[in-house]
């Protein structure tokens, strides 16, 4: 027993190019190994900084890679497509995380301090200025 997921067309605002849609059949066995938008140790909740933010559900050690935040694609604004992990992390002048690449052009989220359970994860943005 399974179900279908419809992947819809995404249009690039800058170039008007688009990616086509398709249907993917997912079985329960496949679903267990499919992409998860967030790692198990993070959740998205209301943030005192701005809107929604990423928060730790358990303690996370310093220098831990939490996952992929930005996928490199030259056709998009700033050359990146944000993942849910990259889309909900808020800005701070004193961040507890950093972005880094792992021998590719994609960006990954790394902790730079120990993160306590319930603490919000933050970055000092470098791809764009959040104050503009």
Each residue of 14-69: pLDDT tens digit?
Answer: 544 444 444 444 444 444 445 567 888 899 999 999 999 999 999 999 999 898 88
| CA 101/CA 103 separation, integer angstroms | 6
Domain with CATH 2.170.270.10 in the chain: 35-132
Residues 6+ apart with CB under 8 A from 35: none
Pairing of strands 122-123, 90-91: parallel
**pTM of structure:** 0.67
CATH for 35-132 is: 2.170.270.10
């Amino acid at each position: 027993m399974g179900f279908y997921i419809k992947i819809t067309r995404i249009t690039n605002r800058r170039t008007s190019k688009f990616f086509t849609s398709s249907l993917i059949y997912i079985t329960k066995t496949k679903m267990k190994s499919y992409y998860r938008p967030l790692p198990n140790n993070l959740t998205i909740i209301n943030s005192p900084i701005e809107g929604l933010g990423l928060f730790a559900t358990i303690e996370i050690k310093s220098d831990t890679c939490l996952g992929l935040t930005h996928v490199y694609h030259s056709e998009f604004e700033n050359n990146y497509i944000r993942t849910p992990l990259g889309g909900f992390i808020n800005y701070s002048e004193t961040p507890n995380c950093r972005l880094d690449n792992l021998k590719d052009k994609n960006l990954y989220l790394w902790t730079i301090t120990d993160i306590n359970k319930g603490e919000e994860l933050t970055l000092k943005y470098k791809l764009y200025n959040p104050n503009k």
